[in-house]
């Protein structure tokens, strides 16, 4: 780390140039990594596989048969432009959800569909949408013919990419509106007529209420994708307002991975006629059978060392690592890039252009490491992900299922998922089993971890921006942990604060303010690093708290970004 150190890939600042020459260097850290990680087999545990798999793997024919139907797209009464586009996109046989959904939707029925993530839902609603608008020769002068609502910007972008490919030989116009994009440019396009519109809820409601040239009185179709996710991140009121703004006489398609009470309420609100219900949920397992899943128990102070060692040995793979807070993604991204383990990162506090660029960069990469929050966990189709690492446990089993849904997608997809747990968090496995998710125990011997803790702590102490980022990440982690819904298992008062600080490269745990209702037990402990939240902070929606870990929002607003 001297003055001649090159600028790293994450465009970090030059503050590192002031680092003491006695502090560790990147090469010193990398030399400390074992050249191999021995695989030790025990009766009750399985070693984590870190070696390269053969280039050619036998395809799981049984999984393919379970995933696909026996019907082809050619058996459907589709127009020539659609059949031509499907052929060029490489689609021949339909998945089961497509075979059950497309035909009734082509007949004009309303539909509620429940299916596992990665089952082919997008084509299930896009093909009927395009066909129905093509059949009535829907043109730009008539405004919006179909509105597709997606919970996140990244998923909206992905859906729009498929729309664009399917409409290649059709005359209907298409577009996308979402938070973070240029609202004025969107309004101009809407005034010219966008027949198939992909949107996020907040931005759609904004245009419905404020853009005069946005014509929706001819709307034929409403598609609500990932309805459970839309509601779980706080868009319930926006959805109610949107439904009030659009014509009642329309076809409605509602897709949801889970059928919660809120989803059922939304269905009753948005669907007038008796809908057709389609469900292909596996009654035995909640995740695909080709996914190898396991967990490893590790103390707080060894968590990052385990991650570092694992990533170092899997640089030739495609890996996604999930965290609970934006600040932790930011810090570990900066740290790993600084020590020459190239990673990408996506979280809710980034600008939309940054998230979009990173998302497509990772999608198109054959290998790479993506650090992310749950913003990337739902619905996104990221090709050939080898490993899903859940560095921070999810809030509930449903989120676990959606996180691991990024790998083992498609008929012959395969992948691996690893969940990191503290010894006090093993009770979470009971909740996973109740949700039809069974994990194997993996072994990762402590003696095989990279011995770089002291070097990392010196590096962070001497590098200003890393030290500041580490403290922010520590606070973000604690606030997210304190807001966990399963407080009987994820009890913030039981955390070893000193050991936890070490996982962020900090010698002394920073002070963190928590609301009284979640930090009462902490106040009784002899831990000088916590302060009870003031009454003012409890009432304010503009401060960070356990119930409001993102700040500057209402306490019940769980969204990672506004629109």
CATH of the domain at 313: 3.40.50.300
Comparing 425 with 353, which gets the higher pLDDT?
A: 425
> Could you say which of 255, 279, 303 is where a domain stops?
279
Work out the average pLDDT over 89-99: 91
Q: What are phi and psi of 57, to 5 degrees?
A: -110, 140
Residues 319 and 405 in one domain: yes
Work out the average pLDDT over 490-503: 94
Whether the predicted pLDDT of 553 surpasses 50 = no
> Could you say which of 446, 479, 496 is where a domain stops?
446
- The confidence score (pLDDT) of residue 136 equals 95
> Among 103-107, 176-180, 441-445, 485-489, which stretch is predicted with the lowest mean pLDDT?
441-445
Residues forming a β-bridge with 72: 93
Whether the predicted pLDDT of 84 surpasses 80 = yes
Work out the average pLDDT over 105-127: 87
Confidence of residue 118 (pLDDT cuts 50, 70, 90): low
What separation in angstroms does the CA of 111 have from each of 67, 73, 250, 279, 373? 21, 20, 12, 11, 31
What separation in angstroms does the CA of 108 have from each of 40, 104, 172, 226, 255? 58, 7, 19, 21, 16
Total domain count for the chain?
2
Residue 32: CB atoms within 10 A of its CB come to 19
Residues 132 and 209 in one domain: yes
In a domain, 413, yes or no: yes
- The confidence score (pLDDT) of residue 269 equals 86
In a domain, 229, yes or no: yes
Residues 164 and 263 in one domain: yes
Residues 293 and 185 in one domain: no
Work out the average pLDDT over 404-417: 61
> Could you say which of 279, 300, 328 is where a domain stops?
279
| Strand ranges inside 301-386, DSSP E | 318-322, 344-346, 368-372
Comparing 151 with 40, which gets the higher pLDDT?
A: 151
Confidence of residue 69 (pLDDT cuts 50, 70, 90): confident
- The confidence score (pLDDT) of residue 436 equals 80
Work out the average pLDDT over 69-74: 85
Confidence of residue 477 (pLDDT cuts 50, 70, 90): very high
- The confidence score (pLDDT) of residue 204 equals 97
Supply the mean pLDDT for the chain.
79
Q: pLDDT tens across 295-312, in order?
A: 999 999 999 999 999 999
Confidence of residue 530 (pLDDT cuts 50, 70, 90): very low
| Strand ranges inside 174-275, DSSP E | 174-177, 196-199, 221-224, 251-256
Q: pLDDT tens across 370-396, in order?
A: 999 886 545 566 777 889 999 998 888
Cβ contact 111:105 at 8 Å: yes
- The confidence score (pLDDT) of residue 330 equals 96
Which tokens go with 429? Answer: 């496995």
String of DSSP letters for 247-305: -SSSEEEEEESS--HHHHHHHHHH--SPPEEEE---SS-SS-TTEEEEEEE--GGGHHH
With pLDDT > 90 as the criterion, what percentage of the chain qualifies?
Answer: 50
Question: Could you report how far apart the first and last alpha carbons of the chain are, in Å?
Answer: 41
- The confidence score (pLDDT) of residue 376 equals 54
In a domain, 72, yes or no: no
In a domain, 31, yes or no: yes
Whether the predicted pLDDT of 366 surpasses 60 = yes
Residues 326 and 217 in one domain: no
Work out the average pLDDT over 52-77: 56
Residues 314 and 248 in one domain: no
Q: Name the strand (E) or helix (H) holding 30.
A: helix 26-31
- The confidence score (pLDDT) of residue 44 equals 37
Q: pLDDT tens across 185-213, in order?
A: 999 999 999 999 999 999 999 999 999 99
> Among 49-63, 127-141, 241-255, 512-526, which stretch is predicted with the lowest mean pLDDT?
49-63
- The confidence score (pLDDT) of residue 37 equals 29
Cβ neighbors of 188 (< 8 A, separation 6 or more) are none
Residues 248 and 362 in one domain: no
Whether the predicted pLDDT of 61 surpasses 80 = no
Confidence of residue 516 (pLDDT cuts 50, 70, 90): low
Nearest of 117, 97, 557, 150 to residue 377 by alpha carbon? 117
In a domain, 373, yes or no: yes
Work out the average pLDDT over 138-160: 94
In a domain, 114, yes or no: yes
Nearest of 426, 421, 431 to residue 401 by alpha carbon? 431
Domain limits at 335?
Answer: 27-44+285-446
Comparing 297 with 547, which gets the higher pLDDT?
A: 297
| Strand ranges inside 33-138, DSSP E | 46-47, 68-72, 93-95, 111-114
Whether the predicted pLDDT of 49 surpasses 90 = no
Residues 293 and 210 in one domain: no
How buried is 454 (Cβ within 10 angstroms: 0-12 exposed, 13-18 middle, 19+ buried)? Answer: exposed
With pLDDT > 70 as the criterion, what percentage of the chain qualifies?
Answer: 74
- The confidence score (pLDDT) of residue 280 equals 55
Residues 336 and 428 in one domain: yes
Work out the average pLDDT over 35-52: 37
Q: pLDDT tens across 12-40, in order?
A: 333 334 434 334 444 444 444 433 323 33
> Among 199-208, 272-281, 315-324, 517-526, which stretch is predicted with the lowest mean pLDDT?
517-526
Residues 267 and 398 in one domain: no
Residues 137 and 257 in one domain: yes
In a domain, 274, yes or no: yes
The rounded distance, in Å, linking the Cα atoms of 57 and 35 is 26
Q: How many residues does the chain have?
A: 563
Cβ neighbors of 410 (< 8 A, separation 6 or more) are 67, 118
Residues 273 and 307 in one domain: no
Work out the average pLDDT over 164-185: 95
- The confidence score (pLDDT) of residue 201 equals 95
In a domain, 457, yes or no: no
């Amino acid at each position: 780390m001297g003055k001649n150190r090159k600028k790293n890939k994450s465009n970090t600042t030059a503050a590192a140039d002031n680092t003491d020459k006695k502090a560790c260097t990147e090469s010193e850290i990398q030399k400390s990594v074992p050249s191999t990680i021995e695989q030790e087999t025990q009766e009750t545990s399985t070693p984590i596989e870190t070696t390269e798999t053969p280039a050619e793997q036998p395809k799981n024919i049984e999984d393919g048969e379970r995933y696909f139907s026996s019907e082809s797209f050619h058996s459907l009464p589709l127009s020539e432009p659609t059949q031509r586009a499907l052929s060029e996109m490489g689609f021949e046989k339909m998945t089961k959800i497509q075979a059950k959904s497309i035909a009734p939707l082509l007949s004009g029925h309303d539909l509620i569909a429940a299916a596992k993530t990665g089952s082919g839902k997008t084509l299930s609603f896009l093909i009927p949408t395009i066909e129905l608008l093509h059949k009535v020769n829907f043109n730009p002068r008539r405004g919006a013919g179909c509105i597709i609502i997606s919970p996140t910007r990244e998923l909206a972008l992905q859906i729009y990419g498929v729309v664009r490919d399917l409409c290649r030989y059709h005359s209907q116009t298409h577009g996308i509106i979402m938070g973070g994009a240029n609202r004025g440019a969107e309004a101009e396009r809407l005034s010219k007529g966008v027949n198939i519109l992909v949107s996020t809820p907040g931005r759609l409601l904004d245009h419905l209420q404020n853009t005069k040239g946005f014509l929706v009185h001819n709307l034929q179709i409403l598609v609500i994708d990932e309805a459970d996710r839309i509601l779980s991140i706080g868009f319930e009121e926006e959805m109610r307002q949107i439904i009030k703004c659009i014509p009642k006489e329309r076809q409605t398609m509602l897709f949801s991975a889970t059928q919660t009470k809120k989803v059922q309420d939304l269905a009753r609100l948005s669907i007038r006629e008796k809908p057709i219900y389609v469900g292909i949920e596996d009654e035995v397992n909640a995740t695909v059978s080709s996914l190898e899943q396991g967990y490893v128990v590790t103390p707080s102070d060894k968590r990052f060392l385990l991650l570092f060692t694992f990533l170092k040995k899997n640089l030739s793979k495609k890996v996604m690592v999930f965290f609970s807070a934006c600040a932790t993604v930011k810090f570990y991204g900066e740290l790993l890039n600084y020590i020459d383990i190239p990673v990408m990162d996506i979280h809710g506090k980034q600008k939309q252009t940054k998230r979009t660029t990173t998302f497509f960069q990772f999608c198109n990469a054959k290998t790479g490491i993506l650090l992310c929050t749950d913003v990337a966990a739902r619905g996104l189709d990221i090709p050939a992900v080898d490993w899903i690492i859940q560095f921070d446990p999810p809030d509930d089993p449903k989120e676990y299922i959606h996180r691991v849904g990024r790998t083992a997608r498609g008929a012959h997809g395969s992948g691996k998922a690893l969940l990191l747990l503290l010894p006090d968090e093993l009770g979470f496995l009971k909740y996973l089993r109740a949700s039809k998710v069974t994990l194997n125990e993996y072994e990762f011997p402590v003696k095989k971890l990279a011995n770089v803790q002291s070097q990392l702590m010196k590096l962070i102490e001497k590098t200003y921006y890393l030290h500041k980022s580490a403290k922010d990440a520590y606070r973000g982690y604690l606030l997210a942990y304190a807001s966990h819904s399963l407080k009987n298992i994820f009890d913030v008062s039981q955390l070893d604060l000193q050991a936890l600080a070490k996982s962020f490269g900090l010698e002394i745990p920073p002070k963190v303010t928590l609301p009284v209702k979640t930090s009462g037990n902490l106040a009784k402990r002899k831990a000088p690093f916590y302060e009870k939240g003031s009454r003012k902070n409890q009432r304010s929606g503009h401060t960070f708290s356990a119930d409001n870990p993102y700040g500057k929002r209402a306490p019940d607003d769980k969204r990672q970004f506004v629109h």
